[in-house]
């Protein structure tokens, strides 16, 4: 029982719209039992959603308004493995890797709240490793597109120039998000293994006490980056 209750005061939670109104009419906090860091991350993610939303809408607009035919994604992103040309195989593996990393992240959050220091550390590092693998495969994909197929941001031999432009810009922006995530995963993992979160050691620059909630805050970001990838995957590779 104790294990499942850690991290939230479930007795205070009642269902229904009435409780929402009650919370928002109350003093001190509009979101009860939500820490500052978590609230901040959620609001940041809403803002970031608008960034990726604008990118994807811009992509759809240029794709629909260009007069030159759009390159066929199943051919462009095909990979020859064992003498066979397999469409979308690399991207399927990349997606699998990134979704798996969401799984390890979720486990890390759970073990973090149980204060299982070593397990949390290992799961965080595994998440970081999967994320780094994803970025590595993305680098491989970019190299293949640039070197073998001659795709450039300003043009490509297969069709509309906007294909390369939008592809590099949006996957590049997503890849940057994943890379930043990997860096912060490693930082959080180090904090976990050093025991900073158990001893509530103040942060180096912020002076804030370390708490296991930062694992969850990190997790929110990571799941968001995965979710964005699902949309990029659908719009770029399946359309």
Partner 1 sequence: MMSYVAHDETELIPPLEVEEEELYHPKTFIGKYIWCQDAKVIAIQYTITAMGVGLLALVLSGIMRLQLGFPNSFSFITPGAYLQFVTMHGMIMVVYLLTAIFLGGFGNYLIPLMVGARDMVFPYANMLSYWIYLAAVLLLVASLFVPGGSTGAGWTLYPPQAIVEGTPGAGLGIILMLLSLMLFIIGFTMGGLNYVVTVLQARTRGMTLMRLPLTIWGILMATILALLAFPALFVSAVMMLLDATLGTSFFMPAISVAGEMLDYQGGSPVLFQHLFWFFGHPEVYIVALPAFGIVSDLIAVNARKNIFGYRMMVWAILIIGGLSFVVWAHHMYVSGMNPYFGFFFATTTLIIAIPTALKVYNWVLTLWRGNIRFTVPMLFAIGFLVTFVNGGLTGLFLGNVPVDVPLSDTMFVVAHFHMVMAVAPIMVVFGGLYHWYPKVTGRMLDPTLGKIHFWVTFIGSYSIYFPMHYLGILGVPRRYYSIENISFIPESAHTLNVQITIAALIVGVVQLVFVYNLIRSYFKGEPAGPNPWEATTLEWQTADTPPRHGNFGPELPIVYRWAYDYSVPGAVLDYIPQNQPPDSLPARETDDNPQAPPS
> In the bound complex, what is the minimum distance in angstroms from residue 126's beta carbon to partner 1?
29
> In the bound complex, what is the minimum distance in angstroms from residue 129's beta carbon to partner 1?
28
Total number of residues shown for the chain: 239
Q: Find out whether 108 and 101 touch, Cβ atoms under 8 Å.
A: no
Instruction: Verify binding: residue 180, partner 1, rule CB under 8 A.
Output: no
Long-range contacts formed by 89-93: CB under 8 A, 24+ apart: 90/137, 90/140, 90/141, 91/141, 91/233, 91/237, 93/137
Stretch 188-207 residues interacting with partner 1 (CB under 8 A): 202, 205-207
- Per-residue contact track with partner 1, 88 to 117, x per CB under 8 A? ------------------------------
Among 75, 180, 195, 208, binds partner 1 (CB under 8 A): 208
Among 209, 227, 234, 239, binds partner 1 (CB under 8 A): 209
Instruction: Verify binding: residue 154, partner 1, rule CB under 8 A.
Output: yes
Long-range contacts formed by 124-129: CB under 8 A, 24+ apart: 124/185, 124/186, 124/188, 124/189, 124/192, 124/215, 124/218, 125/185, 125/186, 125/189, 126/101, 127/101, 127/185, 127/222, 128/182, 128/185, 128/186, 128/189
How many CB atoms lie under 10 A from the CB of residue 215?
Answer: 24
Instruction: Verify binding: residue 156, partner 1, rule CB under 8 A.
Output: no
Stretch 8-67 residues interacting with partner 1 (CB under 8 A): 11, 24-32, 34, 36, 39-40, 43-44, 46-48, 50-51, 53-55, 58, 61-62, 65-67
Going through 30-179 in order, the beta strands assigned E by DSSP cover 79-81, 84-86
Stretch 158-177 residues interacting with partner 1 (CB under 8 A): 160-162, 164-166, 169, 173
Positions in the binding site for partner 1 (CB under 8 A): 11, 24-32, 34, 36, 39-40, 43-44, 46-48, 50-51, 53-55, 58, 61-62, 65-68, 153-154, 160-162, 164-166, 169, 173, 202, 205-209
């Amino acid at each position: 029982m104790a294990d499942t209750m850690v991290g939230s005061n479930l007795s205070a939670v009642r269902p229904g719209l009435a409780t929402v109104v009650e919370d928002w009419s109350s003093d001190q906090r509009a979101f009860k039992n939500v820490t500052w860091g978590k609230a901040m991350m959620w609001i940041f993610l809403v803002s970031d959603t608008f960034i990726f939303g604008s990118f994807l809408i811009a992509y759809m607009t240029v794709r629909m308004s260009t007069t030159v035919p759009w390159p066929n994604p199943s051919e462009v992103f095909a990979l020859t493995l064992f003498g066979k040309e397999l469409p979308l195989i690399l991207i399927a593996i990349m997606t699998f890797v990134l979704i798996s990393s969401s799984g390890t992240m979720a486990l890390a959050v759970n073990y973090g709240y149980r204060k299982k220091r070593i397990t949390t550390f290992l799961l965080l590092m595994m998440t970081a490793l999967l994320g780094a693998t994803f970025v590595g495969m993305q680098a491989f994909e970019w190299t293949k597109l640039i070197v073998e197929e001659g795709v450039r941001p300003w043009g490509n031999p297969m069709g509309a120039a906007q294909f390369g432009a939008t592809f590099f810009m949006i996957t590049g922006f997503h890849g940057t998000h994943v890379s930043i995530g990997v860096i912060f995963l490693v930082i959080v993992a180090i904090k976990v293994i050093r025991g900073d979160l158990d001893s509530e050691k103040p942060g180096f620059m912020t002076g804030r006490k370390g708490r296991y909630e930062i694992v969850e805050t990190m997790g929110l970001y990571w799941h968001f980056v995965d979710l964005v990838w699902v949309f990029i995957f659908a719009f770029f590779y399946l359309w």
